[in-house]
Amino acid sequence: MMLPGGSVMTAEDAGIDLLYTSHAGIDIGGTRARMRYVDPRTGEIRHVETRCGQYASLDDVLRACFALAGCVPRRLVAGVAGRVLPGGDVHVTNQPSWPVFSKDAFAAAHGIDLRIVNDLVATAMGTAGLDENGYRPLLPGEDRAAATARLVVAIGTGVGAAIVDADGNVRSSEAGHVPWQPVSGVEAELLRFVRASTSAPVVTVEQVLGGLDGFRHLYDFLRARRGTAPELRTGGADAEIGPLITAAACAGDEFCRELLALYGGILGQFLRGLLLVSLPEGAEIWLGGSVLQAPRVADLLMAETPFRERMVSRGAQHADLMRRVPVLLITAPDVAVQGAFAHSRPRD
């Protein structure tokens, strides 16, 4: 919330006498923040939401959520799109102008028990509580009932992954920032193109799969390679190109379908690598994020791209294992905040 002149409004500015509530969970992405909390007046579970771009810091976003809810949680779990440091401090990846958030200082100032986790950890936590209305199968595995671990991958602005082991423990990762290695000749061309475009010493998975950089690089690469491309950009906003590409591909555009075919192969290869590193047996893949949850996109990737072929890699080591792994799509829109909320409940 903004005051006249552009300053950020806090709970004190709003003149709200905030009550305490028992617990709450917050999901803070690069664009929006959502809080799920117990209304201290009625005991009902409620939600508030705000856009992150209008605030100057993570502190301000949290205080704005408290003001919108009219209460401060005694226990708070916040899933944040950024790398969480050992002490719980965090810098939000897609808000580079924000200062590093100090967990202990904020908790002390507001008298709360605060836990900060990566947003993919919150998403992975949330998958445990989903019923059949919160997900759907994309590729069948041999036996879902035998699955004992989950690889959770979300692609929105960036790429994130978390692992849930057989005991329910969640491990975070920075999988989107691992180096990407091409397999085909076209992918080798793409690698050279992205490296030349960015002057970066390493091309990461996020630079070819992320909803912002990935789609922009794939679009520019194919346009240069083919000499033509549909005009998808509006107002010069690169952030809009991903949804435009996926919508055009689903509508049958040849260029965008070629782009998604390239994308699907790279995604399948990426998931194969993550599975081999982290979950050798009894695993299932859960996919989410705005790119993959957009209408028809996941189905198109499964049916009309080399996704499964590259994930299984017939003839390669452990192809039989890869063939048995079920792939599911998270359809619940608020799984991360559900996970944060579930883990904020006081333990007896």
Q: What would the mean pLDDT of 40-65 be, rounded to a whole number?
A: 96
Q: At the fourth CATH level, which superfamily is domain 11-125+335-342?
A: ATPase, nucleotide binding domain (3.30.420.40)
pLDDT tens-digit series, residues 136-191: 999 987 666 666 799 999 998 889 999 998 888 999 998 999 999 999 999 999 99
* CA nearest to 127, candidates 88, 161, 76, 92: 161
Instruction: With beta carbons less than 8 A apart as the criterion, state whether 143 and 275 touch.
Output: no
- Residue 216: what are its φ and ψ, rounded to 5°? -65, -45
Rounded to the nearest 5 percent, the helix, strand and coil shares of the chain are 40, 25, 35
d(CA 153, CA 128): 14
Confidence grade of residue 233 (pLDDT, cut at 50, 70, 90): low
pTM: 0.87
Equal fold, 11-125+335-342 vs 135-330: no
As given in the structure block, the two tokens for residue 34 are 């959502």
d(CA 49, CA 29): 11
DSSP string, 172-215: E--GGGSBP---SHHHHHHHHHHHHHH--SS-BTHHHHSTTHHH
Reduced to 3 states, what is the DSSP secondary structure of residue 340?
helix
d(CA 84, CA 75): 18
Reduced to 3 states, what is the DSSP secondary structure of residue 332?
coil
Structure confidence at residue 11 (pLDDT): 44
CB atoms within 10 A of CB 5: 5
pLDDT tens-digit series, residues 319-340: 998 998 999 999 998 999 999 9
The domain defined by 135-330 folds into Hexokinase; domain 1 (3.40.367)
As given in the structure block, the two tokens for residue 141 are 């595995």
pLDDT above 70 coverage of the chain, percent: 91
Confidence grade of residue 257 (pLDDT, cut at 50, 70, 90): very high
As given in the structure block, the two tokens for residue 54 are 């209008």
Predicted confidence (pLDDT) at residue 273 exceeds the cutoff of 90 = yes
Ranges of each domain in the chain: 11-125+335-342, 135-330
Structure confidence at residue 13 (pLDDT): 45
d(CA 133, CA 332): 8
Confidence grade of residue 12 (pLDDT, cut at 50, 70, 90): very low
Amino acid at 18: L
**Better-scored residue on pLDDT, 229 or 75:** 75
Instruction: With beta carbons less than 8 A apart as the criterion, state whether 260 and 305 touch.
Output: yes
pLDDT tens-digit series, residues 294-312: 999 999 999 999 999 999 9
d(CA 329, CA 298): 8
Q: What angle do CA 157, 163, 168 make, to 5 degrees?
A: 135
Structure confidence at residue 57 (pLDDT): 97
Instruction: With beta carbons less than 8 A apart as the criterion, state whether 340 and 37 touch.
Output: no
Taken as a whole, the chain contains a residue count of: 348
CB atoms within 10 A of CB 137: 14
Instruction: With beta carbons less than 8 A apart as the criterion, state whether 290 and 337 touch.
Output: no
The neighbouring-strand residues paired with 220 are none
The number of angstroms, rounded, from the C-alpha of 98 to the middle of its chain's C-alpha atoms is 20
d(CA 339, CA 292): 19
- Residue identified by tokens 């903004």 is 2
